[in-house]
Amino acid sequence: MARRRADPFATRCGLSGLRVVTGAKPKVLVTGATGFVGRHCVPKLLERGFDVHGISLREPASRTPDVTWHRYDLLDPAACHAVVKALQPSHVLHLAWITKPGVFWSSAENLAWMTAGAALLQACAAAGARVVVSGTCAEYAASNAPLQEETTPLRPDTVYGHAKAGLFHAFEALRMTSALDGAWARLFFPYGPDEPAGRLIPGAIECILQRREFACTDGRQTRDFIYVTDVADALCTLLQSDALGAFNIGSGAATELRDVVSRIANRLRGAELVCFGARPRPPNDPDFVVADRTSMQRACGWSASVSLEDGLDRTIDNWRGRIAVLSRRPK
């Protein structure tokens, strides 16, 4: 159940409500800091006055100024305890997970991330750190109505959804037994600059920009798309709040996939390149996945600010730039 309470770490961390105030800089540990969502969270955390520490098994492709990087293998539960003990963060934003398009839905690696995540949460509870964890709308049962944190049952039908739901239950158990201070953020469908190329929106943009046919399903599925900077803002807002429990991170807007692809094609003058129905729908593909965003609005006063039209324009511009850079590289 989502609720609020007084933040026991507000004085130590220099926080007051949702605003950073004078005092010692709060230290945040970000897992998955180089990923699609993480790289948009890092600058927002810096803007909010955090001392940002990122975790990466490999050297980051580009280093963000003012971020301290640490090399740990988070799939090793011992490493999860070690990094929290070494850094003693006041806050932890846990985003790391398997995300490879076409693989993550059914990969057994999801179970390893579930186990490692439980170890990280135990370490956070022991250290007294406030934690926000990235969950997913795939934890919910299928529904023809907006999904609500307190009334929609958790009944996933993918390995990914089961593993995330399993970690959520560990999160709730630790809140009950160890006074874990934290929030669970169920992300709906983030999109925007730097999204992996194998997903719907970047796939459509890339194909049409290069004047290639884009094969997709009939596109009648309804989804809740949310621009990635809105996701990052919501996660940072939750991290600085005293909100507890699960919260949906979505726009609340219901949009058919066909509409999204058609908007992209029309902007790029490539409607003739789109082949609706050329691919079958994946197994267990729900018809309707849209967030009820009441809890997040009530607890944090937050709602998404970037419209789908504006977000798609920004994403198309980003892809134009990426393709232009690639075209200038020697072959």
User: Which pair of structure tokens corresponds to residue 151?
Assistant: 């009334």
Averaged pLDDT for residues 200-225 = 97
Q: Alpha-carbon distance 173 to 11, whole Å?
A: 26
User: Which pair of structure tokens corresponds to residue 142?
Assistant: 């299928």
How distant is the alpha carbon of residue 312 from its chain centre?
18
The answer to whether 288 and 254 have CB atoms below 8 angstroms apart is yes
Query: pLDDT tens-digit profile of 255-281?
Result: 999 999 999 999 999 999 999 999 999
Q: Alpha-carbon distance 241 to 237, whole Å?
A: 6
How distant is the alpha carbon of residue 189 from its chain centre?
8
- Cα dihedral sign, 57-27-63-93: positive
**At residue 97, does pLDDT exceed 50?**
yes
Q: Alpha-carbon distance 98 to 225, whole Å?
A: 20
Q: Alpha-carbon distance 50 to 29, whole Å?
A: 10
Fold of 3-191+225-252+290-305: Rossmann fold (3.40.50)
Query: pLDDT tens-digit profile of 4-63?
Result: 443 332 322 333 234 343 458 999 999 999 999 999 999 999 999 999 999 987 777 666
